[in-house]
C-alpha cells in the first residue's frame, strides 16, 4: 500500500503545449501578467505606428532619382540627393575622374584592418601587412611618393638598434654582427647625410598624378586620421605608459606631465592650437601641411589615452612576472618586450578597440579646422541650393555609414573579449 513508484527508466512527458514553442515564449515573456500584457500591446502599437510612418517616408513615398531638389518637394525622403552627392560625400574634392583611387585606398585600409582582426595574423605577418598596405594606401592617395635616403637610414638604425637590444645576449656572433652592421650603417649614414657628405638621394614612386592632401576628403580622411592617428599613437603611448611607471623621477615626471596635460584639454583645443597658433610661430612662408597637423594633433591626443589604458594593463600583471624575468637575467628591453608587454597588451585590446571607436567618431572634429572628413563633406552637400532643404536624408545616410563601422568594431571587440579570455575561463 505504498505510493512508491517503480524505479527504472521513465518516459519523459512533453511539457504542456502553452509552455513551449513560440506560444510559450510569448506567454512567458510578453504576457505573463495583466500589466505586462498591456505594456506589450501598447509598445507594439507604438512601434508599428512609428515604423510605418518611417517606412512610408523612407521607402514608399521616397524619390530615388530626380534632376534637382525641386522635384523632390512634396514627396517623402529625397534619396535622389544622396544619389547625386554620394561620390562627393565619400571622396570630397578628390579629382572626380580619379575617384577609384580613394575607393581602392579605403578598400585597402579596410582589408588591412580586417586581416589584422584575425588572431592567426598576430605575428610578424602584421608588420608586412601594414607596411605593404600603407604603401599602397598612400601611393593611391598621393599618387606620387618620395622616400629620401635618410628615411631608409633611419629605419636601418632603428631596426638594428632593436635587434641589438633584444638579441644582444643570446645571438650567435654572426647574427650579432649583422645587427651591429645594420645599426652602424643607419647611424653613420644619417650623420653623413646631416653633415652633407652623402647626396640627397631619394626613391620616388610615381604611378599616378600627384594629389595633395588639401584635396582629400570624405571617408578616406576619416579612416586615415583614425587608423594612422592610433597606429602612430600606439608605440608612443606604450613608451609613455612605461615611462610613467619608470623609477627615474625625471622620465616619470615628464610622462605624467605630458599625459595629464593632454588629457586635461579637449581635442578641439589641440586642433585649434595646431591650425591657428602653430602657423604664427613658424617663420613667414613656412607652412606645415594642414592634414599632417591634424594627424599629429590626433596622434598626440590618442597617445595620452592609450598610455593610460596600457598602464592599466601593466598594473594588472602580477609582480612575480617581473621578478621571474629579472631572475633570468633579461635586460630591461627584453623583459619589457618578451614578458611584460605581451601579457599587458592582451588585457587591454578590448579597451583599445573601444578607444578606436571613439576616435573614429572624434575625427569629425577636424571640420573646425577646415578639413573635409566624412561628416563635413556630408554637411557641405547640404549647402548646395539646388538640393536645399533635405538635411534629414543626408544625416541619416552619414549616421548609417558611421554605424556600420562602429557597430562592426564593437561586435569584434565583444568577440575578442570572449576569445582572449578562453585561457582564464573555466
Query: What is the footprint of other proteins within residues 337-376 (CB under 8 A)?
Result: 367-372, 376
Closest CA to 216 of 396, 74, 378, 94: 94
* Grid cell listed for 391: 538635411
Q: How many CB atoms lie within 10 A of CB 308?
A: 19
Q: How far apart are CA 360 and CA 223, in angstroms?
A: 7
- Does residue 212 touch other proteins according to CB under 8 A? yes
- Does residue 333 touch other proteins according to CB under 8 A? no
- Does residue 199 touch other proteins according to CB under 8 A? no
Q: What is the nearest approach in angstroms of other proteins to the Cβ of residue 383?
A: 4
- Does residue 134 touch other proteins according to CB under 8 A? yes
Q: How far apart are CA 283 and CA 368, in angstroms?
A: 24
Q: Given the rule CB under 8 A, which of 10-18, 156-164, 191-199, 408-416 is the region that contacts other proteins?
A: 156-164
- Does residue 200 touch other proteins according to CB under 8 A? no
**Strand spans (E) along 90-217:** 145-148, 202-205
Q: How many CB atoms lie within 10 A of CB 412?
A: 18
- Does residue 236 touch other proteins according to CB under 8 A? yes
Strand-pair partners of 145 = 205
- Does residue 146 touch other proteins according to CB under 8 A? yes
Instruction: Please identify which residue in 44, 126, 203, 265 interacts with other proteins, judged by CB under 8 A.
Output: 126
CA-CA distances (angstroms) from residue 255 to 22, 262, 334?
59, 11, 22
- Does residue 209 touch other proteins according to CB under 8 A? no
Instruction: Please identify which residue in 64, 132, 389, 411 interacts with other proteins, judged by CB under 8 A.
Output: 389
Instruction: Please identify which residue in 183, 379, 394, 405 interacts with other proteins, judged by CB under 8 A.
Output: 379
Q: How many CB atoms lie within 10 A of CB 414?
A: 12
- Does residue 154 touch other proteins according to CB under 8 A? yes
- Does residue 228 touch other proteins according to CB under 8 A? yes
Q: How far apart are CA 338 and CA 242, in angstroms?
A: 14
Binding residues among 52-71 for other proteins as defined by CB under 8 A: none
Of 3 and 118, which has the nearer Cβ to other proteins? 118
Q: What is the nearest approach in angstroms of other proteins to the Cβ of residue 207?
A: 15
Q: Given the rule CB under 8 A, which of 14-22, 28-36, 233-241, 346-354 is the region that contacts other proteins?
A: 233-241
Binding residues among 85-104 for other proteins as defined by CB under 8 A: 85, 87-88, 91-96
Q: Is 10 helix (H, G, I), strand (E, B) or coil?
A: coil
Instruction: Please identify which residue in 138, 208, 322, 395 interacts with other proteins, judged by CB under 8 A.
Output: 138
Q: How far apart are CA 337 and CA 351, in angstroms?
A: 20
Q: What is the nearest approach in angstroms of other proteins to the Cβ of residue 263?
A: 21
DSSP 132-146: HHHHHHHHHHHS-EE
- Does residue 131 touch other proteins according to CB under 8 A? yes
Binding residues among 252-311 for other proteins as defined by CB under 8 A: 272, 275-277, 279-280, 282-292, 296, 299
Of 30 and 205, which has the nearer Cβ to other proteins? 205
Instruction: Give the Cα-Cα-Cα angle 114, 116, 121 (nearest 5 degrees).
Output: 125
Instruction: Please identify which residue in 84, 308, 362, 373 interacts with other proteins, judged by CB under 8 A.
Output: 84
Are the C-beta atoms of 110 and 119 separated by less than 8 Å? no
Q: What is the nearest approach in angstroms of other proteins to the Cβ of residue 206?
A: 13
- Does residue 217 touch other proteins according to CB under 8 A? yes
Instruction: Please identify which residue in 232, 349, 358, 361 interacts with other proteins, judged by CB under 8 A.
Output: 232
Are the C-beta atoms of 338 and 170 separated by less than 8 Å? no
Q: Give the interface size with other proteins as a residue count (CB under 8 A).
A: 80
- Does residue 336 touch other proteins according to CB under 8 A? no
DSSP assigned state of 371: -
290: Cβ contacts below 8 Å, ≥ 6 apart: 213, 214, 275, 369, 370, 371
Q: What is the nearest approach in angstroms of other proteins to the Cβ of residue 288?
A: 6
Of 73 and 411, which has the nearer Cβ to other proteins? 73
H/E run at residue 28: helix 21-29
H/E run at residue 101: helix 100-117
DSSP assigned state of 218: B
* Grid cell listed for 388: 536645399
Q: What is the nearest approach in angstroms of other proteins to the Cβ of residue 32?
A: 44
- Does residue 380 touch other proteins according to CB under 8 A? yes
* Grid cell listed for 79: 534619396
Q: What is the nearest approach in angstroms of other proteins to the Cβ of residue 312?
A: 18
Q: Is 148 helix (H, G, I), strand (E, B) or coil?
A: strand
Amino acid at each position: 500500500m505504498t505510493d512508491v513508484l517503480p524505479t527504472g527508466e521513465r518516459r519523459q512527458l512533453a511539457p504542456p503545449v502553452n509552455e513551449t514553442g513560440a506560444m510559450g515564449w510569448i506567454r512567458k515573456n510578453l504576457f505573463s501578467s495583466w500589466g505586462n500584457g498591456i505594456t506589450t500591446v501598447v509598445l507594439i502599437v507604438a512601434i508599428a505606428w512609428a515604423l510605418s510612418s518611417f517606412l512610408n517616408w523612407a521607402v514608399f513615398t521616397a524619390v530615388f532619382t530626380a534632376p534637382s531638389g525641386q522635384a523632390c518637394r512634396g514627396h517623402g525622403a529625397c534619396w535622389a540627393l544622396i544619389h547625386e552627392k554620394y561620390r562627393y560625400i565619400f571622396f570630397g574634392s578628390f579629382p572626380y575622374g580619379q575617384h577609384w583611387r580613394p575607393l581602392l585606398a579605403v578598400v585597402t585600409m579596410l582589408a588591412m584592418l580586417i586581416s589584422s582582426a584575425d588572431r592567426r595574423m598576430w605575428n610578424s605577418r602584421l608588420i608586412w601587412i601594414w607596411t605593404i598596405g600603407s604603401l599602397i594606401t598612400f601611393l593611391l592617395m598621393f599618387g606620387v611618393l618620395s622616400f629620401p635616403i635618410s628615411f631608409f637610414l633611419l629605419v636601418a638604425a632603428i631596426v638594428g638598434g632593436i635587434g641589438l637590444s633584444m638579441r644582444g645576449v643570446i645571438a650567435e656572433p654572426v647574427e650579432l654582427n649583422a645587427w651591429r652592421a645594420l645599426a652602424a650603417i643607419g647611424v653613420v649614414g644619417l650623420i653623413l647625410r646631416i653633415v652633407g657628405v652623402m647626396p640627397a638621394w631619394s626613391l620616388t614612386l610615381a604611378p599616378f598624378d600627384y594629389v595633395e592632401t588639401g584635396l582629400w576628403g570624405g571617408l578616406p580622411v576619416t579612416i586615415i586620421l583614425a587608423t594612422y592617428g592610433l597606429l602612430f599613437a600606439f608605440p608612443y603611448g606604450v613608451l609613455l605608459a612605461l615611462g610613467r611607471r619608470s623609477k627615474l623621477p625625471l622620465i616619470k615626471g615628464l610622462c605624467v606631465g605630458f599625459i595629464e596635460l593632454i588629457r586635461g584639454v579637449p581635442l578641439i583645443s589641440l586642433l585649434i592650437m595646431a591650425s591657428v597658433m602653430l602657423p604664427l610661430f613658424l617663420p613667414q612662408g613656412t607652412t606645415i601641411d594642414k592634414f599632417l597637423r591634424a594627424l599629429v594633433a590626433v596622434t598626440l591626443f590618442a597617445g595620452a589615452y592609450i598610455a593610460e589604458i596600457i598602464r592599466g594593463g601593466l598594473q594588472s600583471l602580477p609582480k612575480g612576472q617581473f621578478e621571474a624575468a629579472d631572475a633570468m637575467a633579461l635586460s630591461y628591453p627584453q623583459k619589457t618586450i618578451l614578458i611584460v608587454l605581451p601579457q599587458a597588451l592582451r588585457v587591454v585590446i578590448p579597451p583599445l578597440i573601444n578607444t578606436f571607436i571613439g576616435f573614429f567618431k572624434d575625427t569629425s572634429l577636424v571640420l573646425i579646422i577646415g578639413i573635409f572628413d566624412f561628416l563635413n563633406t556630408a554637411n557641405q552637400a547640404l549647402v548646395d541650393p539646388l538640393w536645399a532643404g533635405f538635411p534629414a536624408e543626408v544625416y541619416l545616410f552619414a549616421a548609417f555609414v558611421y554605424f556600420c563601422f562602429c557597430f562592426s568594431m564593437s561586435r569584434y571587440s565583444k568577440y575578442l573579449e570572449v576569445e582572449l579570455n578562453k585561457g582564464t575561463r573555466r
